[in-house]
Every structure is written in C-alpha cells, then in structure tokens.
Amino acid sequence: MKLIERIVQRPERNVGRGDFATRLLATFVLGALVVTVMPQANVEFPMIKISLLAATEVGLITLMLGLFLDTKTHYAGLQMFLGSLAMFWLARRQLPWAAAAVGVAIIAVGIINLVTRRSRFNQVFNLSSIREVIESTP
C-alpha cells in the first residue's frame, strides 16, 4: 500500500547535484539521437545503429553506476538505455518518425524533471540527491 501512495503523492524536490547533471547530459544525448534518426538528417542506417547502440551501452553503464556505487544516476541510465533501445528497435523496423516521437516523449519527461527538480521515479524508490533531504534522513 505504501508503494501506491508514493506513486500517487506529488513528489518533493528530489533531483539535484550529480543526478541533475547526468539527467541533463542524457537529455542532450537523446536530443542528438532524435536528430540523427529523423529522415531529413540523411544519416545511413549503420551510423544510426552504431550511435543508438553506443548510447544504449552508456545508459546501461550509468544505470549500473547508480545501482552499485550509489551515485544516484538511476533515472539518467534508464532514460538513455530504454530510450535509445526503443528508438533503435523502431528505426530498425523502418519507422524513423515513430523512433523520433519516442525520443521526444522521453526528452519531454526528462525536461519536466529538470525544470521542476521533482522525479516520481526518485520518489517511488525513495531516492534523493538534494543535500538537505539527504542530511535530514536518518
């Protein structure tokens, strides 16, 4: 029951410092990937494939850093890993506009988290990278 309450409740400010920087970087990387996937960019599929898979790998490494080293980079890792993997899957199926739409949707969620500095993901998993919140937790 507590998990559902944490999902429904409006999150407090819980995005700061290193978490903010990695989310910002992940948003910029996904923005570059969206531009690369669009048909007007005239980028060949092997280059799209390499760039999306490289971003997937970086996202996975960022996620592992968050899980094992307690660096609070979970969301940025998931954002890059799942976003670029979904874009790759759609681009491989000859759906570049759908891939770009998925990328833009993930970027929009990332920008909302950056502007408000509130993340429902952090709230559900009881994470915070804001110094005042960390210092006040027992």
Instruction: Classify residue 97: in a domain, yes or no.
Output: yes
pLDDT tens track, the chain, 138 positions = 565 565 555 556 555 666 777 878 889 999 999 999 999 989 999 999 999 999 999 999 888 887 777 666 777 888 899 999 999 999 999 999 999 999 999 999 888 877 776 666 666 666 665 554 445 555
Contact 70, 19 (CB under 8 A): no
Instruction: Classify residue 81: in a domain, yes or no.
Output: yes
H or E element that contains 16: none
Instruction: Classify residue 57: in a domain, yes or no.
Output: yes
SS3 128: coil
Instruction: Classify residue 47: in a domain, yes or no.
Output: yes
Report yes or no on whether pTM surpasses 0.85. Answer: no
Whole-number pLDDT of residue 127: 62
Domain count, the chain: 1
Instruction: Classify residue 2: in a domain, yes or no.
Output: no
Instruction: Classify residue 16: in a domain, yes or no.
Output: no
Residue 117 and residue 20: Cα distance in Å, rounded? Answer: 8
Residue 73's domain spans which residues? 25-136
Instruction: Classify residue 19: in a domain, yes or no.
Output: no
Instruction: Classify residue 7: in a domain, yes or no.
Output: no
